[in-house]
Structure 1
Amino acid sequence: MLDHAEVSPARPSALAPNYHPLDVVLTAGEGSWVTDVRGRRYLDCLAGYSALNFGHRHPALVAAAQAQLGRLTLTSRAFDHDLLEPLATAVTGLTGTQMLLPMNTGAEAVETAVKAARKWGYDVKGVPDGAATIVVAEGAFHGRTTTTVSMSSDPDMRDGFGPYTPGFRIVPYADADAVAAAIDETTVAVLVEPIQGESGVIIPPPDYLPRLRTLCSVSNTLLVLDEIQSGLGRTGTTLAQELVGVRADLTTLGKALGGGLLPVSAVVGRRDVLSVLTPGTHGSTFGGNPLACAVALAVVDLLTPGDLQARARELGAELRERTDALVAEGLLRAARTVGLWAGLDVEPALGLSGRATSERLAARGILTKDTHGSTLRLAPPLTISSDDLHLALDTLTAVLREEAAEAGR
């Protein structure tokens, strides 16, 4: 196997260049810490974009996977297995929903929700065949398939991949009036993130989701919330929609559902909506496989007591206090936090991008990631210690002050 150090102009990488990672090559991880090929340790404050909500190699999750590896890993959905119904019962119980449809990746969960909403629109609402529309939001990230990029307003994700899937109406995020204007007799769903993660942890006004819930109920339209990043403890609640007392008709889950061990996703929600997907209309060879179910069941066990959600709230208060102080000091233009999740806008006057700040943090042993130019995202594992969280924030403060000094402020 080609070692990372061997990649050179004379011997270029065989890997397609669809990512631009930081110059860190990891080889091991445990809890909130990872180790690179040179033996240097880093504090992981990205946690796989929330896929590693429970840290690297959580003992309960590893044990569940190891036990299942010795029993059964895949049946396809041609046959049932003994963990599929328990998974559906456990996840719907955790989320207060009625039915689950298992898939693998987050993008597949969103595609499944789109298909279910359209089928429901034709079979139940009576929308003419082929005419269904779905209202989505600017700045959203729902995946990178041809259908999900058709919902996107980001030229980096969208340009060069047409023709695009029709049927989506893109309106400004956090603007319930724009959603109301976009809904008509062809609208089968409003599909949004309760908090936009990829855009930089964009938090809408507290009345946004409740207004969408009312609009959808009045117009007989489905409210579909993408909780692939925001769900399963990240915001201090099991689902972010709980923060404002809203219940979606369909919710997409992913990332943390697989515990950072393997891809697991699902759509949960109303029985009458998901029941429109009858045998032959939708499926997945690996969706709901026994290994995935074993890990996801262990994830539910971790979240059921509520300790991790409470921890995200408590540490989130510390995170907010520290990042608000950086705004007050003039080192950040803005800080948006919810639970153990933050979008931090670096002050443009410092003259450096979010990427450059991420690189400086990595050089000091803290891993995070930039987005949209000048925004840093912090999403450490929910299991991170208070001391490690403050280590990350101390390092961030030092880096920003260093940048400010270099800018002559």
Structure 2
Amino acid sequence: MDFNSRDLDPDPMSSDLDQSRHLATAIPGPRSVELMKRKQAAVSAGVATTLPVFAARAAGGIVEDVDGNRLIDLGSGIAVTTVGSSAPRVVEAVSEQVAAFTHTCFMVTPYEGYIAVAERLAELTPGDHEKRTALFNTGSEAVENAVKIARVATGRDAIVVFDHAYHGRTNLTMAMTAKNMPYKKGFGPFAGEVYRAPMSYPFHDAAEIDGKLAAERAIAMIEAQVGADQVAALVIEPIQGEGGFIVPAPGFLAALAEWCQTNGALFVADEVQSGFGRTGTWFAVEHEGVVPDLLVSAKGIAGGLPLAAVTGRAEIMDSVHPGGLGGTYGGNPLACAAALAVIETIESDGLLERARQIEDILVGRLRELQQSDPRIGDVRGRGAMVAAEFVDPVTGKPDGALARAVAAHAHRCGVIALTCGTWGNVIRFLPPLSISDELLDEAFTIIAQGLAQGLAGTK
């Protein structure tokens, strides 16, 4: 079934932004060039940008810049605007809330929106056990609080993470993150009692290493180097994000969860990037039939407003003393209103099914392209979280330069494309679920053209 943004539930508050790519100027245009000069004079050089354009409006699958260029959005603000930027229900809900009150601090004078979000998360997250939720601002903050909760609940200190992982930019979550540049370089020393285990990476693992053997490899390292009775939690992204959209082999997650249950450790699913409908289910861990003890969500949860959550088994979440969790802005009422509207939009507009349709389109076209281009070493992902990994076809080594060249071509042509991966050799596709088939097809064609130009440039 073809999908057009007009297929969504009509709403008088919906944006009038034309859902088509349009280049009014070169990229960047003069207004964006002017703003970039101001940025360089006023903003820390440590805050980089992927594209040299400045947004003016965004809706559906389009971002319009200050020069009137309309770009096709394959990034969703790094998996944040899953239901589309300026989604009508989100705009309406936030507008109503901002007129009522913007903040009181839930820890001082609480409000219903926070409770309603926690109730919905209890319904939507895997497992039918009794649950509790605590709300925070960012994915990093939520991951860090999941670690705090796990340590209190188990009385243990050790946290196990995995190769290629990304968990955030705070001191603790930098320790948990694998990649040095740009996330960790120069920022140490980092928090202790964090240990790294080998990840299941089917494209780079030997053919005989299936999910079960990959889990045995990881568990052997944990038991030998950490000690099973020392582990408070395993923290893992069910599909790794910044590490390269790595989908572990079937059975890997289940085996780790079983080991945790046997040894009194907690299984923590970091669903900051993979959650909230992105992969065609509410949470990516559902694809493997795993019920985590704690689940971390953020990014797509609130349609662009800052919100994050830790949801988990009631007895674990309630093990923390009163006052031990919280934060001034955690569960801000505007963000809570947005989250409830996001959930309604996903349910009412059939966006879980739409994510699966996007997977069929992207994976199908990428694999078709792969048949004639051996530089596409691997195609992987679920739902609207799909990636192509580029390699040298002779040596098999990662080709980060090609990924950067393809992304740069896309940017010049008005397509927002993002790279990722430990070696920077992965192009990731993170379109909003509200994007039309026509925009998706056009964006992919431009990506393919960039790849063809990259081939020409090597001759």
CA displacement, residues 269-318 of structure 1 (integer Å, 9 cap, x when unaligned):
10011101222212111111211111111112123358111111122111
Distance 1:11 1:387, change over 3 A: closer
CA displacement, residues 229-267 of structure 1 (integer Å, 9 cap, x when unaligned):
00011111110011011110000000011112x111000
Deviation at 1:5, TM superposition (A): 3.1
Q: Residues 337-356 of structure 1 correspond to what in structure 2 (within 5 A)? A: 337-348=381-392, 352-356=401-405
| Further displaced range: 99-108 or 19-28 | 19-28
Q: Residues 102-141 of structure 1 correspond to what in structure 2 (within 5 A)? A: 102-122=135-155, 127=156, 132-141=157-166
2:105 corresponds to 1:73: no
Deviation at 1:213, TM superposition (A): 1.2
Partner of 2:350: 307
Would you say the 8 A contact 2:134–2:325 is kept in 1?
A: no
SS in 1 for 2:341: helix
Partner of 1:281: 324
Distance 1:15 1:9, change over 3 A: closer
Question: What is the aligned length?
Answer: 397
Partner of 2:115: 85
Distance 1:354 1:233, change over 3 A: same
2:291 corresponds to 1:247: yes
Deviation at 1:45, TM superposition (A): 0.3
Q: Distance in 2 between matches of 1:85 and 1:307?
A: 25
* 157, 179, 195: which one aligns with 2:218: 179
Would you say the 8 A contact 1:352–1:403 is kept in 2?
A: no
**Mind listing any 5+ residue stretches in structure 1 that lack a counterpart?**
none
The residue type paired with residue 17 of structure 1 is: A
Q: Distance in 2 between matches of 1:302 and 1:195?
A: 24
CA displacement, residues 7-51 of structure 1 (integer Å, 9 cap, x when unaligned):
688995221122242222222111110111211110000111110
Partner of 1:364: 413
Partner of 2:77: 48
Q: Residues 6-405 of structure 1 correspond to what in structure 2 (within 5 A)? A: 6=34, 12-18=40-46, 19-76=48-105, 77-96=107-126, 98-122=131-155, 127=156, 132-156=157-181, 157-174=183-200, 175-181=214-220, 182-183=222-223, 184-260=228-304, 262-304=305-347, 307-330=350-373, 331-348=375-392, 352-371=401-420, 372-405=423-456
* Cα-Cα RMSD: 2.0
Distance 1:348 1:179, change over 3 A: closer
% identical equivalent positions:
33
Would you say the 8 A contact 2:346–2:352 is kept in 1?
A: yes
The residue type paired with residue 135 of structure 1 is: V
Runs of 4 or more above 6 Å deviation:
7-11
Deviation at 1:71, TM superposition (A): 0.5
Deviation at 1:164, TM superposition (A): 1.3
The residue type paired with residue 361 of structure 1 is: A
Q: Distance in 2 between matches of 1:25 and 1:84?
A: 33
State the TM-score, normalized to the length of structure 2.
0.83
SS in 2 for 1:353: helix
The residue type paired with residue 361 of structure 2 is: E
Q: Distance in 1 between matches of 2:117 and 2:180?
A: 38
Q: Distance in 1 between matches of 2:330 and 2:404?
A: 35
| Further displaced range: 61-70 or 396-405 | 396-405
Would you say the 8 A contact 1:146–1:165 is kept in 2?
A: yes
**Mind listing any 5+ residue stretches in structure 2 that lack a counterpart?**
1-30, 201-213, 394-398
The residue type paired with residue 271 of structure 2 is: E
Distance 1:20 1:102, change over 3 A: same
Would you say the 8 A contact 1:28–1:34 is kept in 2?
A: yes
Deviation at 1:201, TM superposition (A): 0.6
Distance 1:13 1:7, change over 3 A: farther
SS in 2 for 1:304: helix
The residue type paired with residue 119 of structure 2 is: T
Would you say the 8 A contact 2:113–2:333 is kept in 1?
A: yes
Q: Distance in 1 between matches of 2:184 and 2:55?
A: 30
